[in-house]
Amino acid sequence: MQEKVRDLPREPEYRVVGTRPIRPDGVDKVTGRARFGADLNMPGQLVGRVLRSPHAHARLVRVDTSKAEKLPGVKAIVTRDDFTDQASEFVPAGEMLINYRDVVRNVMAREKVLYEGHPVAAVAATSPEIAKEALRLIDVTYEVLPHVMDVDDAMLPGAPLLHEDMITQGVTPAPTTPSNVAKRVEFLLGDAAKGFEQADIVIERTFKTAPVHQGYIEPHAVVASVAEDGQAEMWVSTQGHWVVRAHCARLLGMDINKLRVTASEIGGGFGGKTVVYLEPLALALSKKARRPVKLVMSREEVFRATGPTSGATVWVKMGAKKDGTIVAGEAILKYQAGAFQGSPVGPGCMCAFAPYDIANVKVVGFDIVTNRPKVAAYRAPGGPISGYAVESVVDELARAVKMDPIDFRLKNAAREGTKAAYGPKFGPIGLVACLEAAKKHPHWSAPLGKNQGRGIAAGFWFNIGGETSVSLSLNEDGTLTLLAGTPDIGGLRASLCMMTAEELGIGADKIRPIIADTSMLGYNFLTGGSRSTFSSGMAAVEAARSVIKQACARAAKLWELAEDAVTFEDGFVKPAGENAGKHKPMNLGDIAKIAGKTGGPIVGTSAINAHGAAPSFGVQISDVEVDPETGRVSIVRYTVVQDAGRAIHPSYVEGQYQGGAAQGIGWALNEEYIYGSDGRLQNPGFLDYRIPVASDLPMIDTVIVEVPNPRHPYGVRGIGETPIVPPMGAIANAVRDATGLRLTALPMSPPRVLAAIDAARAAGDKSLKVG
Amino acid sequence: MAKIPLSFTVNGDPVEVLVSPQQTLLDVLRDELELTGTKEGCGTGDCGACSVTVDGRLVCSCLMLGVEAAGRSVGTIEGMASADSLHPLQQKFLEHAALQCGICTPGILVAAKALLDRNPDPTETEVRYWLAGNLCRCTGYDKIVRAVLDAAADMRATHSAA
């Protein structure tokens, strides 16, 4: 129940929210003190290693561990025989769903290996050298099968089948033969066919995007210890330790209360640390060995066996009238799921046309399995792929009707009351405000140089709330300790302290924030869906209001007044009015001193399902320079404009904008997996899978637009995911502006851009602009 | 294979450890000396999270064998702050919010300090190229570059005032 202690303060009254204090976990992180996943060692700990399939697709005939077991120093080996099969059941993982039948097969291959890197055994030994030797001694017999890597190939009749029993869901009547298409989804608004009849201009294009990895710098790491009585503890780098606990308890057949999970500091996740890989293996090994087991992935394992997000084929058709009104939009999205179903094609469909008020929309999506690692959530999962395709076509429509691309978007922008193609009517949203801010920004009117071009694109993400639990204790001296349960990846603890401090009328430094382990609070869903500042913030505010209410009650007791004769203002408990008598106002320190005598410790708690998450829209402007000799595209200027609802700590909001844009720039220009014809990944390292480095990027300018979310006490929207949606479209549109050529495949890497320029030159294409 | 006794200095203090011949300097720092501020992001010298200095020279500690450190002076993130204050780079990283998850931060700070030791007045481009071997996936580098330039300016001002 939410206590309403006082009305929401007006913005000018905020003392803490909107300022830029130093984050509470900052010193630990600049001194090397902060402990990440691989930084903890337990006494008696063993070293774990995972044996992985060298084949993209094979029947797993036999796994013989007998020789490895005899090697001195080997303490445990686990294979598929150590995991009970699971029934098919979908459970939420961030914005996506996972199925336990598939999870148990992904953490350890059963009937088949479905991608290169798929685990087939794990070993725990007394040294890394012995563990490595043990892996060599495990004898695995594979029956190699033909594999399929691309969504279009996987949909062809006669394509190799990953799951012989997979019947496409969402098709009526249900198909009678299995295929690699797990699911078909459809979103309809109005009548697309009729809409196109009203169009003066119709443009349709097919786009291809490459799968890209989240690229967190910290590889997955876990230490697990299972005692003889079944009580277990785990230290893990994760975006959600309650979720890890649930998955592991399920896979290991444990009672949930037996497993206590502590989230380490997390070295980046971006959605990729919302699922389990090593954790069940570490527990199973520790259970067998009766000693703690540490498992840490190498970077190569991260690339071969975790993440990424989908590669896709996307067809988009849009129609507009001469006056610039978009009358219809249609899209077909084919997303790679990797080895098991569950690509983010659903959110991809829902995001596709979300920034625009279009009367007639039809979006169809296909979730397609291929012999690649199972995809995991990656920042706005699914949205950047469909957004890239739609924003490219929107750019072409604006050119066709000879409108400025911002004016064209303003004419069609979603506003409060617009019915989105995926269902809801939007509440107050900031897209128009962002487009207007972009138009006014000096970047939009700055002159361009030779071989340079400018592009703009819009983007959207839903954001979510969900189960959240916090606890706020008033300490003996009036300071407070805040326990929250959503791992802090990029400044959450700072924001939570600031909102709590704002409520309590004290400085943010008077509150020590701790990310609690799973034994200390009720269930917390993971940090994902841009939900942590929104949801844990909402809970922290509620807990603070509970502390205030209790403080008032204690003062009332001391002053022998009715509780409603005591009020709380600017950090002080005081009599509500003249009639209540003259009592010296008490701050939280004074209340803490009398807490024992007036009823005991004061603790505010909140356990909620946070409702009212609101979408964040954004717009990004990109200037590129294209080198016509090499095809290299350089980003010469970049601006991010986005609605934050309210920026609690503006520096970390800017950081999310800049970081999301940088990841999008990598997606647009460089990042892709290169597989050989044998189905093996040829670039499983940061040298060849090149994420943007400091010298690749300019400063990234930011504009924080604030259209408060009316359903959050401080107006917060989620802001972390939207920034990765616009970059690919903005950059593709800038490349179009610079070269005259519409590139329809990502990444726009030098060989691909050069080939497009050379082909245009050879064909005498008059639209070619670069010299 | 038999272990090898290894003596060197870390952040000014002499250390003696027994190491395997195949252990990297990174392994020795993290596993034998429990100096876990130095991180492993790739193990192949591509990400810079394991940056340390050896006799003042910036190296990826994952690319150097532990035994090669014999008799040398190694500097890690744990040695960057003095007893009474953070290094100006550390302070500026906090003020500029130049970190999000923080896993790359120790390596970037060590690398940035090595830059300012050589070049107290770098341009933005020089900072960007010097740090091109240190990957950060969270920040887009904007605030990192600003923090380094600001720290350099402060250190120059302090130096000329002294």
The DSSP string of A589-637 is HHHHHHHTTTTS--EEEEEEEE-----EEEEEEEEEEE-TTT--EEEEE
Residue B162 has pLDDT above 80, yes or no: no
Band of pLDDT at residue B8, cut at 50, 70 and 90: very high
Among B84, B109, B138, pick the best mutation site for testing chain A contact (most A Cβ within 10 A): B138
Helix axes A241-252, A279-289, angle to 10 degrees: 50
Cβ <8 Å between A218 and B103: yes
CB-CB contact of A4 with A199 (8 Å): no
Quickly state the pLDDT bin for A394 (edges 50, 70, 90): very high
Q: Do the Cβ atoms of A724 and A706 come closer than 8 Å? A: no
The answer, for A322 touching chain B at a CB cutoff of 8 Å, is: no
Helices B142-161 & B88-95 angle (0-180, nearest 10)? 140
**Distant-in-sequence, close-in-space partners of A111: CB < 8 Å, separation ≥ 6:** A59, A60, A105
Q: Where in chain B is the domain with CATH 1.10.150.120?
A: 88-161
- DSSP classification of residue A195: H
Comparing alpha-carbon positions, the chain B residue that sits nearest to A296 is: B40
Task: Give the tokens for residue A132.
Answer: 């490595």
Computed over its alpha carbons, how large is the radius of gyration of chain B? Answer: 16
pLDDT tens digits, one per residue of A567-582: 999 999 999 988 878 8
Which chain B residue's Cα is nearest to A490?
A: B100
For domain B4-79, the question of CATH label 3.80.10.10 is answered with no
Q: DSSP labels for B13-49?
A: EEEEEEE-TT-BHHHIIIIIS--TTS--S-SSSSS-T
pLDDT of residue A271: 96
- Is B6 in CB contact (< 8 Å) with chain A? no
Class of domain B88-161 (CATH, top level): mainly alpha
Which residue, chain included where needed, has tokens 């592991």? Answer: A248
Report the range of poorest mean pLDDT among A20-34, A92-106, A237-251, A301-315.
A92-106
Q: Pinpoint the residues of chain B covered by CATH 3.10.20.30.
A: 4-79
Q: Has residue A95 got a pLDDT over 70?
A: no
Of A741, A734, A738, the C-alpha closest to A761 is A741
Helix (H, G, I), strand (E, B) or coil at A671: coil
Find residue A746's DSSP bridge partners.
none
Q: Could you give the dihedral angle defined by the CA atoms of residues B123, B124, B130 and B133, in that order, rounded to the nearest 10 degrees?
A: 180
CA distance A25 to chain B (A): 10
- Locate A600 and state its tokens: 């005991």
DSSP, res A10: P
What tens digit of pLDDT does each residue of A361-386 get?
Answer: 999 999 999 999 999 999 999 999 99
> What integer pLDDT is reported at residue A12 of this predicted model?
57
Question: What are A711-739's pLDDT values in tens digits?
Answer: 999 999 999 999 999 999 999 999 999 99
How close, in Å, is residue B12 to chain A by CA atoms? Answer: 16
A positions 385-444 inside 8 Å of B (CB): none
- At A214-259, the pLDDT tens digits run 999 999 999 999 999 999 999 999 999 999 999 999 999 999 999 9
Q: Is residue A546 within a helix (H) or strand (E), and if so which, with residue range?
A: helix A532-559
pLDDT-derived band at A8 (thresholds 50, 70, 90) equals: very low
Sign (positive or negative) of CA dihedral A597, A603, A604, A608: negative
Burial of residue A322, with CB atoms counted within 10 A of its CB: 0-12 exposed, 13-18 middle, 19 or more buried: exposed
Among A11-25, A150-164, A302-316, the minimum mean pLDDT is found in: A11-25
**Does A1 score more than 50 pLDDT?**
no
Residue with tokens 């401080």: A714
- pTM of the predicted model, to two decimals? 0.97
pLDDT tops 90 at residue A106: yes
Provide the 10 A C-beta neighbour count for residue A101.
16
What are the pLDDT digits (tens) for B50-73?
A: 999 999 999 999 999 999 999 999
* H or E stretch at A263: strand A259-263
3-state secondary structure of A538: helix
Q: Which tokens belong to A347?
A: 């959110």
Are A270 and B40 in contact (CB < 8 Å)?
no
Structural domains in chain A?
11-34+465-610 (3.30.365.10), 39-145+214-305 (3.90.1170.50), 427-459+614-771 (3.30.365.10)
Which of A303, A121, A99 minimizes the C-alpha distance to A211? A303
The answer to whether A723 and A657 are in contact (CB under 8 A) is: yes
B21-56 b/e (C-beta count within 10 Å ≥ 16 → b): eebbbbbbbbbbbebbbbbbbbbebbbbbbbbbbee
- The pLDDT assigned to A5 comes to 38
ipTM exceeds 0.95, yes or no: yes
Q: Where are the beta strands (DSSP E) in A89-177?
A: 90-93, 96-99, 112-113, 119-125, 139-144
Which residues in chain A have Cβ-Cβ distances shorter than 8 Å to B128?
Answer: 694-695, 697
Q: What are phi and psi of A623, to 5 degrees?
A: -110, 130
